[in-house]
Structure 1
Amino acid sequence: MDSQALRSKQDDAKLHIVLFPWLAFGHMIPYLELAKLVAQRGHHVSFVSTPRNIDRLPKLPPNLTPFISFVKIPLPHVPNLPENAEATTDLPENKVPFLKQAYNLLEEGITGFLDAAAPDWVLHDFTAYWLVPIATKLGIACGFLSIFTASALCFFNPSGQDHRTEPEDFTVAPKWVPFPSRVAFRYFEVVKIFNNAIAGDASGTSDMHRFEACLRGCDLLAVRSCTELEPEWLRLLEQLYQKPVVPVGQLPPILPHGGDDDEDETWLEIKGWLDKQAGGSVVYVAFGSEAKPNQTELTEIALGLEQSELPFFWALKLKRGPCDIEVIQLPEGFEERTKGRGVVCTSWAPQLKILSHPSICGFLSHSGWTSVVEALQLERPLILLTFLADQGLNASFLREKKMGCLIPRNEEDGSFTREAVARSLRLVVVEEGDKFYRDKAKEMRAVFGDRDRQNQYVDTLVSCLKEHRRHVHKAARAN
């Protein structure tokens, strides 16, 4: 076979890609969206996680089931980790470090799987910092698939040159950012995550160390981002890490278009209420699978919604798993006073379906990037209230890009008032003088909801993965 024919054969050969996300649904869901997009091109994807998490993922379209395999690796038991807790949503925040301990112990199971499956690539999350040497030893290419934005990765820059040691150091743009930027944490945001992310937590390893090890060893950095949104940050990312940086798009979920789940009683009840509301009148309120307000925050949010006089649908998380002992309650009489105008749902709610309903006019959100993507692909303006992790950086980035309105808070302790909540809601979704946020959300649909553009990003990623395989085969023949 001549060289041209051999190259053509390699180009046509289908890839086998392993995806290994962190045990949080804000990570697993975008990983799954990428799996579906890769599978649509005829490549095989092995999606690795723990049994309970895989069982809780959305069902695959029938046409993709031959191309995506779910690999269940049991989560080892560690002290202080409650039984059946396999994702961050199952745990209060102070128990998450023990989940990271257990995640580290998945090393043996995934090593055995990779050795037997011999995939072309493994794309992993920041928590799997120990996977790089394993993949290298097995001759498998390794890519760090970041669900964090390029701006967040640049902000942390765990390259060994970061001398920031105090929380205050993280409230300003880092010195290595060569262009004007206000992307940074507020003091109360960084204090809340400082030990886990920078200093190290009960798992024994800081998140900064995990990032550094992943970035140092990976062959490629794939980022949930796009050049239309943050071109300057993507360029800086490549300069900082000296790695190929491949944006994979925003990975928006496919919008619901009917099907068996439309017969779900929960959705039918929610839809029935939304159908009775005026078009573009209802604020949707949700803070993701992990964020849970404390009692003071809950009270101010509730009374702010009441003061706003706007219709609302609130998906409220009262507990993070069965071992969460912090009890929070709505203010006395709140539900009675807002009856008919608002609904508080304390069980699971189908967020994408709710956001896509024509009665929704805005989204009070925690700034989790998956929620941001879902909202902006549907032209829903954002009112932002952060709680944990990278949400502060996301909110700061959205504010800088004029894509979201942050509820005013005390910079030291993060406190806010019901008046600030009410005023921010009305500013974004009602007042004619400030239609800016609504217009910006409509503009952003072209970035976050364009399926053709998303497909182009995935095509580029697949081409990069194939190109690497071709170089590996060429080097093997030379030896």
Structure 2
Amino acid sequence: MDAAAGCPSRPLHVVICPWLGFGHLLPYLELAERLASRGHHVSFVSTPRNLARLPPRRHHTAGGAIDFVTLPLPPVDGLPDGAESTNDVPGDKLEHLWEAFDGLAVPFGEYLATACAGDPTISNKQPDWVLADTFSHWAATAAHEHGVPCAMLQPSAAMIVAVACEATEVSELTGATVYEEMAAVGKRPVAMPWYEWESNSAFFAPLGASGLSIARRCSMALEKSTIAAIWSCHEWELEAFMMAANLLGKPLVPLGLLPPSPDGGRGADVHRDDATVRWLDAQPAKSVVYVALGSEVPLPVELVHELAHGLELSGTRFLWALRKPAGVPDDDVLPAGFRERTHSHGHVAMGWVPQVAILFHAAIGAFLTHCGRNSLIEGIMYGHPLIMLPIFGDQGPNARLMAGRKIGLLVPRNEDDGSFDRRGIEKAVQAVMVEEDSRKVFVANAMKMQEIVANKELHEGYIDEFVQQLRSYITDGNSSTAASPITS
């Protein structure tokens, strides 16, 4: 360690290793920004193309810095050329991305060994902590091997709690085997529909040449970690947070919600020339439903058509950020004549759109969302009521949490296969956007949650507490992986 290692206020050197999805890369870049703004040094590890696609870093005056550590993704048979993130890979190719991700273990281990040896070309400070994403088991293992404490980054408590909360063996679901034991229990929570339960079985299926399931990767990361850090806070989901802390069997530290500033702090007007923003400029205030279901799991084309018909039937203005289903010709993605019939009040964009700038726009009146954690926080940050259409992972629990708080409505779904129809879309959109009595309730409750999400002092306080927790494991110039009291 450097000569100032014994000083409790010295800057930390933290290495962050996100999973290859922008739903993980972006919030953990926000975390890196907040650590750097406090004078700490952050090494942010990912692949070349992913790093090139991240938004520009903000300037830090407190002496902190972020450096990007590039680890080339190893070639894997079946992985499309140039694919480095979940955005680049069709659903039926994701297994190959997992295999390539596992291939980062060796280069990351070499990088960490060099950094721990004090090579000045890597950093002027040896690493104090590794922050390993939930799936980055190899980063946690390398940290353990080199005596660097590791925090396992958890996007949400929702998935763990949703599966475990009604299992009869819940008292045994503790420690690093919690993920596999949940699968062994095999009992569907009452609140979870069958289609969601069945889709979650993918977490326990072997993936890639290693044969490791997602659950096993999570378990391995937790085994080698000193603490877990969760992208959440007590004000957002206190009950789920406390249950997750009990289940994981390791200290669980909240990071806050990491809400982004508009366009990553680059200014609200940075996208004024974007076609979607220009279209919004011509719309009345609070008149437009923004529709975006994420970039990782596109709907099958028949459900895209039902969503389109539902929007048309609702009669409301809409801006739809649509990811085209793989293998579907452009002319067949939307129902015949849909663009022409809705031209006066609707806009469909099939490329990238500046989502934060759109949600910030005065014309947006509601958000039709899949309830991924990033999108949920971004929508509520601007007080938008929700029309909820969860697809995968923790989106269902997230949506049920928001529905319970009456921030919006879940679109009715078929219990067995998760399908929905145009009438369900129409009714949900109208209840949130058009019907005065119900809209008033949803808007009022969204504004209450906005007070939590937009509370900068609250979330910056969580980061300050997180830094204090990291410091509590570093004594006499050395990092310690021994357990230390952590308050949550």
TM-score norm. by structure 2 comes to 0.87
Paired with 2:222 and 2:159, the residues of 1 have a C-alpha distance of 14
Secondary structure of 2:81's partner?
coil
2:318 aligned residue: 312
Does residue 170 of the first structure (1) align with residue 172 of the second (2)?
no
RMSD: 2.4
Q: 1:469 aligns with which of 469, 474, 484?
A: 474
Q: 2:35 aligns with which of 31, 34, 38?
A: 38
1:176 aligned residue: none
Q: 1:212 aligns with which of 205, 212, 219?
A: 219
Q: Which amino acid aligns with 2:187?
A: D
1:163 Cα deviation after fit: 5.2
Indicate conservation of the 8 Å contact 1:266/1:349, yes or no.
no
Alpha-carbon deviations, 1:89-131, whole Å to 9, x = none? Answer: 1011111111011011101111111112230001011211233
Q: Quick check: 455-464 or 324-333, which moved more?
A: 324-333
Paired with 1:128 and 1:78, the residues of 2 have a C-alpha distance of 18
C-alpha distance 211-315 of structure 1, shift in aligned 2 (>3 A): same
1:153 Cα deviation after fit: 2.9
1:396 Cα deviation after fit: 2.4
Alpha-carbon deviations, 1:299-353, whole Å to 9, x = none? Answer: 110000000000000011115xxxx424451000000000120000111110000
Indicate conservation of the 8 Å contact 2:222/2:228, yes or no.
yes
1:138 Cα deviation after fit: 0.6
Secondary structure of 2:152's partner?
strand
**Number of residue pairs matched?**
453
Q: 1:140 aligns with which of 144, 148, 158?
A: 148
1:294 Cα deviation after fit: 0.7
Does residue 375 of the first structure (1) align with residue 379 of the second (2)?
yes
1:423 aligned residue: 427
Q: Which amino acid aligns with 1:378?
A: Y
2:399 aligned residue: 395
C-alpha distance 263-217 of structure 1, shift in aligned 2 (>3 A): closer
Q: Quick check: 58-67 or 428-437, which moved more?
A: 58-67
Indicate conservation of the 8 Å contact 1:126/1:146, yes or no.
yes
1:56 aligned residue: 53
2:103 aligned residue: 105
Q: Which amino acid aligns with 2:422?
A: R
Q: 1:114 aligns with which of 112, 115, 129?
A: 112
Paired with 1:140 and 1:39, the residues of 2 have a C-alpha distance of 20
Paired with 1:167 and 1:306, the residues of 2 have a C-alpha distance of 44
Does residue 26 of the first structure (1) align with residue 23 of the second (2)?
yes
2:463 aligned residue: 458
Indicate conservation of the 8 Å contact 1:226/1:248, yes or no.
yes
Indicate conservation of the 8 Å contact 1:167/1:191, yes or no.
no
Q: 1:441 aligns with which of 438, 446, 462?
A: 446
Paired with 2:266 and 2:11, the residues of 1 have a C-alpha distance of 31
Indicate conservation of the 8 Å contact 2:292/2:369, yes or no.
yes
1:81 aligned residue: 79
Alpha-carbon deviations, 1:213-260, whole Å to 9, x = none? Answer: 222221011001111121122222222222111110111111249958
Paired with 1:32 and 1:67, the residues of 2 have a C-alpha distance of 12
Paired with 1:264 and 1:309, the residues of 2 have a C-alpha distance of 28
1:404 aligned residue: 408
Indicate conservation of the 8 Å contact 1:143/1:222, yes or no.
yes
2:436 aligned residue: 432
C-alpha distance 101-12 of structure 1, shift in aligned 2 (>3 A): same
Paired with 1:474 and 1:314, the residues of 2 have a C-alpha distance of 49
Q: Quick check: 121-130 or 37-46, which moved more?
A: 121-130
C-alpha distance 442-296 of structure 1, shift in aligned 2 (>3 A): same
Q: Quick check: 131-140 or 420-429, which moved more?
A: 131-140
2:170 aligned residue: none
Does residue 343 of the first structure (1) align with residue 347 of the second (2)?
yes
Paired with 1:258 and 1:68, the residues of 2 have a C-alpha distance of 16
1:271 Cα deviation after fit: 2.4
1:404 Cα deviation after fit: 3.4
Indicate conservation of the 8 Å contact 1:145/1:221, yes or no.
yes
Alpha-carbon deviations, 1:421-457, whole Å to 9, x = none? Answer: 0110110122122122111110001111111111000
2:203 aligned residue: 197
1:236 aligned residue: 243
Paired with 1:258 and 1:472, the residues of 2 have a C-alpha distance of 35
For structure 2, list consecutive stretches of 5 or more residues without a partner in the other structure.
117-126, 165-172, 482-488
1:155 aligned residue: 162
C-alpha distance 475-8 of structure 1, shift in aligned 2 (>3 A): closer
Q: 1:325 aligns with which of 324, 327, 330?
A: 327
Give matches, 1:220-369, under 5 Å: 220-256=227-263, 262=269, 264=271, 267=274, 269-319=275-325, 324-327=326-329, 329-369=333-373
Indicate conservation of the 8 Å contact 1:382/1:403, yes or no.
yes
Q: Quick check: 382-391 or 16-25, which moved more?
A: 382-391
Q: Quick check: 110-119 or 47-56, which moved more?
A: 110-119
C-alpha distance 198-135 of structure 1, shift in aligned 2 (>3 A): same
Indicate conservation of the 8 Å contact 2:132/2:151, yes or no.
yes
Paired with 1:413 and 1:202, the residues of 2 have a C-alpha distance of 27
Paired with 1:425 and 1:475, the residues of 2 have a C-alpha distance of 53
Paired with 1:338 and 1:166, the residues of 2 have a C-alpha distance of 49
Paired with 1:257 and 1:210, the residues of 2 have a C-alpha distance of 31
Paired with 1:228 and 1:246, the residues of 2 have a C-alpha distance of 14
Indicate conservation of the 8 Å contact 2:414/2:420, yes or no.
yes
1:192 Cα deviation after fit: 2.6
